[in-house]
Amino acid sequence: MTPPDRAPLLRSADVRTLVLFSGLVVLVVLLAWPSFVGRLHYARTRAELRAIRDAAKVAELSSVGKLFTTLARLVGPAVVNVTAKRRIVIVADEIAALRGGGLTGATDEVVGSGVVVAADGVVVTNYHVVARSDAIEVALADGRRFAADLLGADAATDLAVLRIDARDLPTAQWGDSDTVEVGEMVWAFGNPFGLERTLTYGIVSGIGRRGVVGNPLQEFLQTDASINPGNSGGPLVDVHGHVMGITTAIVGRSNTGIGFAIPSNTARVVSEQILANGHVERGYVGMALRPVATGGPGAEVVAVEKDSPAALAGLVPGDVVRSFDGDEVPDPAALVLMLTRARVGTEASLEVERGGTTRTVPIRIGRRPRDL
């Protein structure tokens, strides 16, 4: 008798076994896949980091580091410490003081920074560092100390020019602050808290900052480079080592990340005028201004001084000044700065809107009275 055919049963069992085995393989793969993918990703990331690290060793990051040290060596020798001494009279006995006695004296010191701008001993610093001082001392980067003469100062821009009896000094070069853009890297040199020749780094956070200290003749560069008491008068330099500003003010007490510097073009012109004349001459045309009623750019003339350059040019109340020598006037404060920076005795042109029509008005720049 022929046994029954079991081939179909064996084939069915084989299929079940194969399906079960395949399911186990799929399960193992699903469980192991994330780990496998993670290892591949980590290996690729590690390879990328190794490549970046190797490149940094060769060029990129090492060159950035060298930039900092190069600037420190280039500009550092031209940065000085400025100490201004003031004698303070203290009334020890009011009754005796009325009779000419009972007075004792004390000395107050203000410490700031400065920068050498001419090899024959010319130093630029802040006016508020040396104001009302009886003696000024300048300490050079090489350790030498000199008594300094105050050649002149300009309280309106907070700048002062000193001279020391020294020759062949290392100098810093002026840059063009009109080319500065927000985001550019800058470095601040100075003596914060008396820590001589400190270098801090940041960017230009803003330009054309006006009204910071309530003086309409002051306009600042804003930076987040650390500026602290003692930095006043030190240089703010760009990536080429050019002086783009003179640090002068901070918001808050210190370390707030908001500092201000006098633009180099202002500092350079003021220092050159002090060297030439002992004081600063500013342009003046004799008109009062206010914002345009519509809120747009320009400056509306409110009043015109009799026999002033503005009156001689034919300007009248109600005129709206749109531009000065081809430069757009965004607001009255900007026009005041433009006029005060214009060279006395030169002729300029104003684009003036009157009664819906625009005309070009020539005007001769006068000399601003010293008491304004």
Catalytic choice (113, 133, 154, 158): 158
The answer to whether the Cα torsion of 296, 341, 370, 125 is positive or negative is: positive
Active site residue 128: yes
Q: Tell me: the pLDDT tens digits for 163-195?
A: 999 999 999 999 999 899 999 999 999 988 878
272 lies in the same domain as 182: yes
> Which residue among 277, 295, 323 closes a domain?
277
Within a domain: residue 357? yes
pLDDT at 71: 87
Catalytic choice (113, 128, 177, 238): 128
312 lies in the same domain as 228: no
206 lies in the same domain as 267: yes
Within a domain: residue 20? no
Within a domain: residue 12? no
Active site residue 232: yes
CATH code for the domain in which residue 123 is found? 2.40.10.120
Query: In terms of residue numbers, what domain contains 153?
Result: 75-164
pLDDT band at 281; cut points 50, 70, 90: confident
C-alpha span between 183 and 203 (Å, rounded): 5
Catalytic choice (113, 133, 205, 232): 232
pLDDT band at 22; cut points 50, 70, 90: low
Within a domain: residue 50? no
Domain count, the chain: 3
pTM of the model: 0.73
216 lies in the same domain as 268: yes
Which range is least confidently modeled, 9-13, 49-53, 191-195? Answer: 9-13
Q: Tell me: the pLDDT tens digits for 282-320?
A: 899 999 999 998 888 999 999 999 999 999 999 999 999
Within a domain: residue 126? yes
Both tokens assigned to 227: 């500026």
pLDDT at 209: 85
159 lies in the same domain as 111: yes
Rounded mean pLDDT of the chain?
83
pLDDT at 118: 95
> Which residue among 227, 245, 277 closes a domain?
277
Which range is least confidently modeled, 28-32, 279-283, 318-322? Answer: 28-32
CATH code for the domain in which residue 182 is found? 2.40.10.10
CATH code for the domain in which residue 341 is found? 2.30.42.10
273 lies in the same domain as 292: no
C-alpha span between 314 and 316 (Å, rounded): 6
Contact 244, 236 (CB under 8 A): yes
pLDDT at 10: 47
304 lies in the same domain as 320: yes
DSSP strand E in the chain: where? 79-91, 103-118, 122-125, 135-139, 145-154, 159-164, 185-190, 198-210, 219-223, 235-237, 243-250, 259-263, 283-284, 287-291, 299-304, 320-324, 327-328, 347-354, 357-364, 366-367
152 lies in the same domain as 190: no
For residue 142, pLDDT over 80 is answered with yes
118 lies in the same domain as 184: no
Higher pLDDT, 346 or 52: 346
88 lies in the same domain as 158: yes
Within a domain: residue 27? no
For residue 78, pLDDT over 90 is answered with yes
264 lies in the same domain as 292: no
C-alpha span between 166 and 147 (Å, rounded): 10
Q: Tell me: the pLDDT tens digits for 88-125?
A: 766 555 555 555 555 556 678 889 999 999 999 999 99
pLDDT at 49: 65
Within a domain: residue 31? no
Both tokens assigned to 180: 């500065």
Give the H/E segment covering residue 280: none
> Which residue among 112, 131, 164 closes a domain?
164
Active site residue 108: no
C-alpha span between 104 and 90 (Å, rounded): 5
214 lies in the same domain as 133: no
Within a domain: residue 51? no
C-alpha span between 105 and 88 (Å, rounded): 6
